[in-house]
């Protein structure tokens, strides 16, 4: 029987389980093929490997298909069944030369508007619209007869080949609109009702020299027609500068998964969060290379590095243990000692390390930012001192142990609060305490602040403005991006580019993931399962779909202003033992043994 993997999050402390298990179960059924290069189906590759989980002497195989790739799959090309059928030397890339194509400025900045009397327009959001949670341009003809609507933008383009796409939604009927880019036009045609978006794309056009080009949407709206426009994107066709180099090796390999190559800079972060690895290893989970050789911990990290992973992300909790029994809360029991151990393995393998301080004893995320037990009764001034001291002592311990810390995260998903504080001035005081402690130790270590929900209108612009107002010293604005929660990639690119250009910050995705199956593996509901987040998604819940999602995220950040990289969240997290019997029924004994192994 083929076994599918999933996230396994169990707690040992009863009251911690009641409050915290729900949130972490939401973190995905994102199973990739164990960390063997580790579900990092990012950029130029898609991985489908195999793994085996063993608890005590009882072995349960977990088999995926087509673990047939070799070499540096981050940089070595693509996966395809028929390499001769596609061109990996060029691609279409979204350009940032068009202003405000997604209307995330909350107005029509950059566009010249030309409308008849009785025609109105406004940038808005709609909380009921499940297919678009971001800003869009709403238009309405309040006349009893057709009336003109027009919007245009003139931009100077260098010589090259281009095309333009845009999304439309509106009342049932013909829009009577035309999308034009340069001399190429295409009729938008019919819209089919509320919340049903369509994409329209012009034919490509080529400029022999630098030229001023007009991008426009114009036409005579039917009487009382309403509609919405979003994601107007200018694409440029780019060729690989090294395409004709005789030294360039054809590195495509055969596979059942196809991923178009993404051209990345040498310093682009192709990272993985493997914080649960040590706890899984201690619980009996085993990992293997492609030839079936069991990997010890150092071999595991070496294997990741050999296949192109260049950064490892490790979370750190202050004291993830019950204060009386000292039994771990679970979720990896990621204290400082665990981070040092895994950080040394990563460093020995030649990878850099991002330390993700939660400043909490357990999960810190948008739903909760609990103060550590030891800091529960502290006021703001006392917490500021505690964060400074804790950051200083912990970072020095990591560095003294030889861990190559290249980046430190001051808090995890601090969207709504941080370390018990929701007021922005107080939050920024605490951010600064951590950031200044890092700067005092090593000015070359990057400092990241991490948020979620880029899909909410003006969220990130406001967050960045608050950090700037209160003079938080940081380098990287980091975002989580889970497609079923966080909107479109074009919006993600837009809001991150805005921060990069406005404040000069680097930007990255600190967490992303995607499930290749809706099947359960450990007896606990996944966020992505039948009946939950399984419809209306942009990617299939298959190995190919997983590869497509990760490749899309990497490509987006690689083409975002100051984009420095992507981390795949918890690539190694698999069930300790498959919890279903040969008839597909949940085995209570296996489930119970999994709990014992994982919780301790």
Distance in angstroms (rounded) separating the CA atoms of residues 424 and 42: 35
Residues 327, 417, single domain; the answer is yes
CATH code of the domain in which 136 resides: 2.60.120.260
Residues 528, 464, single domain; the answer is yes
Residues 232, 272, single domain; the answer is no
Tokens of 419: 């370390």
pLDDT digits (tens, 9 = 90+) for 185-238: 999 999 999 999 999 999 999 999 989 999 999 999 999 999 999 999 999 887
Walking along the chain (600 residues) 10 residues at a time, the average pLDDT comes out as 30 36 35 37 33 33 37 44 40 83 87 95 87 88 96 92 94 95 93 92 92 95 95 83 48 74 92 95 90 96 95 97 88 94 98 98 95 97 98 98 98 97 98 98 98 91 97 98 91 94 97 90 79 80 90 94 96 83 86 68
Distance in angstroms (rounded) separating the CA atoms of residues 430 and 421: 9
CA 114 → CA 175, 189, 219, distances in Å? 16, 20, 10
> What are the two backbone dihedrals, phi and then psi, of residue 421, each rounded to the nearest 5 degrees?
-115, 130
pLDDT of residue 385: 98
- Residue 249 designated active-site: no
pLDDT of residue 539: 85
Query: Is there a domain that residue 553 lies in?
Result: yes
DSSP 532: B
189, 204, 239: which is the final residue of a domain?
239
Q: Mapped to the 3 state alphabet, what secondary structure does 268-285 carry? A: CEEEEECCCHHHHHHHCE
Residues 152, 39, single domain; the answer is no
pLDDT of residue 19: 40
Tokens of 327: 């039994």
239, 273, 288: which is the final residue of a domain?
239
Residues 291, 233, single domain; the answer is no
End-to-end CA distance of the chain: 29
Residues 292, 209, single domain; the answer is no
pLDDT digits (tens, 9 = 90+) for 414-451: 999 999 999 999 999 999 999 999 999 999 999 999 99
Query: Is there a domain that residue 178 lies in?
Result: yes
* Burial group, residue 143, by CB count within 10 angstroms (0-12, 13-18, 19+): middle
Residues 262, 135, single domain; the answer is no
Q: Does the predicted model carry a pTM greater than 0.85?
A: no
Between β-strands 211-221 and 160-174, what pairing exists: parallel, antiparallel or unpaired? unpaired
Residues 207, 297, single domain; the answer is no
Q: Which residue has the tokens 């941080």?
A: 418
Between β-strands 476-480 and 269-273, what pairing exists: parallel, antiparallel or unpaired? unpaired
209, 239, 269: which is the final residue of a domain?
239
Tokens of 254: 């055969």
Q: How many domains does the chain have?
A: 2
Residues 64, 110, single domain; the answer is no
Query: Is there a domain that residue 500 lies in?
Result: yes
Residues 346, 452, single domain; the answer is yes
Query: Is there a domain that residue 245 lies in?
Result: no
Residues 289, 330, single domain; the answer is yes
Count CB atoms within 10 A of the CB of residue 399.
15
Give the strands of the sheet with 177-181, arranged side by side. 112-115, 147-157, 211-221, 177-181, 184-187
Query: Is there a domain that residue 3 lies in?
Result: no
- Residue 291 designated active-site: no
Point out the catalytic residue in the list 104, 169, 413, 599. Answer: 413
Range of 123's domain? Answer: 93-239
Query: Is there a domain that residue 526 lies in?
Result: yes
CATH code of the domain in which 583 resides: 3.20.20.80
pLDDT of residue 20: 40
Query: Is there a domain that residue 252 lies in?
Result: no
Residues 332, 462, single domain; the answer is yes
Point out the catalytic residue in the list 52, 104, 169, 511. Answer: 511
Query: Is there a domain that residue 1 lies in?
Result: no
């Amino acid at each position: 029987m083929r076994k599918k993997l999933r996230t396994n999050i169990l707690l040992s402390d009863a009251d911690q389980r009641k409050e915290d298990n729900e949130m972490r179960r939401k973190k995905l059924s994102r199973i990739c093929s164990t960390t063997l290069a580790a579900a990092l189906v990012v950029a130029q590759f898609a991985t489908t490997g195999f793994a085996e989980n063993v608890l005590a002497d009882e072995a349960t195989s977990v088999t995926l298909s087509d673990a047939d790739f070799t070499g540096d799959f981050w940089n070595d090309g693509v996966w395809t069944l028929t390499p001769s059928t596609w061109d990996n030397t060029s691609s279409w890339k979204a350009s940032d030369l068009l202003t405000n194509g997604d209307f995330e400025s909350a107005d029509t900045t950059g566009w010249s508007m030309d409308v008849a009397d009785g025609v109105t327009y406004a940038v808005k959001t709609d909380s009921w619209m499940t297919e678009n949670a971001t800003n869009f341009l709403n238009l309405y003809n309040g006349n009893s007869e057709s009336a003109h609507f027009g919007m245009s933008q003139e931009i100077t383009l260098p010589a090259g080949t281009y095309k333009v796409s845009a999304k439309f939604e509106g009342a049932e009927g013909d829009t009577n609109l035309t999308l034009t880019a340069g001399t190429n036009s295409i009729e938008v045609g019919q819209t089919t009702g509320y919340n049903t978006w369509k994409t329209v794309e012009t034919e490509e056009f080529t400029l022999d020299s630098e030229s001023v080009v007009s991008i426009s949407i114009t036409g005579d709206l039917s009487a009382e027609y309403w509609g919405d426009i979003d994601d107007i994107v200018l694409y440029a066709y780019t060729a690989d500068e090294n395409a004709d180099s005789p030294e360039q090796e054809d590195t495509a390999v055969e596979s059942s998964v196809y991923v178009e190559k993404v051209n990345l800079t040498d310093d682009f972060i192709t990272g993985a969060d493997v914080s649960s690895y040590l706890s899984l290893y201690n619980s009996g989970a085993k990992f293997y290379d492609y030839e079936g050789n069991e990997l010890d911990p150092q071999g595991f990290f070496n294997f990741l590095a050999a296949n192109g992973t260049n950064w490892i992300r490790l979370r750190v909790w202050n004291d993830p243990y019950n204060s009386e029994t000292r039994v771990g809360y679970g979720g990896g029991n990621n204290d400082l000692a665990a981070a040092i151990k895994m950080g040394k393995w990563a460093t020995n393998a030649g990878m850099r390390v991002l330390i993700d301080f939660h400043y909490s004893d357990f999960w810190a995320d948008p739903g909760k930012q609990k103060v550590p037990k030891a800091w529960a009764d502290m006021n703001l001034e006392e917490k500021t001192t505690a964060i400074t001291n804790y950051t200083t002592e912990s970072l020095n311990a990591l560095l003294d142990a030889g861990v190559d810390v290249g980046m430190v995260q001051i808090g995890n998903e601090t969207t709504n609060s941080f370390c018990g504080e929701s007021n922005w001035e107080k939050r920024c005081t605490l951010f600064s305490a951590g950031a200044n402690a890092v700067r005092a130790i090593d000015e070359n270590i990057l400092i990241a602040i991490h948020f979620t929900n880029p899909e909410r209108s003006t969220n990130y612009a406001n967050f960045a403005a608050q950090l700037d107002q209160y003079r938080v010293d940081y380098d990287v604005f980091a975002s989580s991006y889970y497609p079923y929660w966080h909107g479109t990639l074009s919006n993600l690119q837009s809001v991150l580019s805005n921060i990069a250009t406005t404040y000069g910050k680097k930007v990255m995705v600190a967490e992303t993931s995607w499930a290749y199956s809706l099947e359960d593996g450990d007896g606990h509901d996944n966020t992505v399962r039948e009946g939950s987040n399984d419809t209306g998604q942009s990617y299939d819940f298959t190995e190919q779909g997983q590869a497509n999602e990760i490749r899309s995220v990497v490509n987006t950040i690689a083409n975002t202003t100051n984009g420095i990289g992507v981390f795949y969240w918890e690539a190694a997290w698999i069930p300790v033992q498959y919890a279903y019997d040969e008839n597909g029924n949940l085995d209570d004994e296996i489930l119970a043994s999994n709990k014992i192994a994982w919780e301790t």
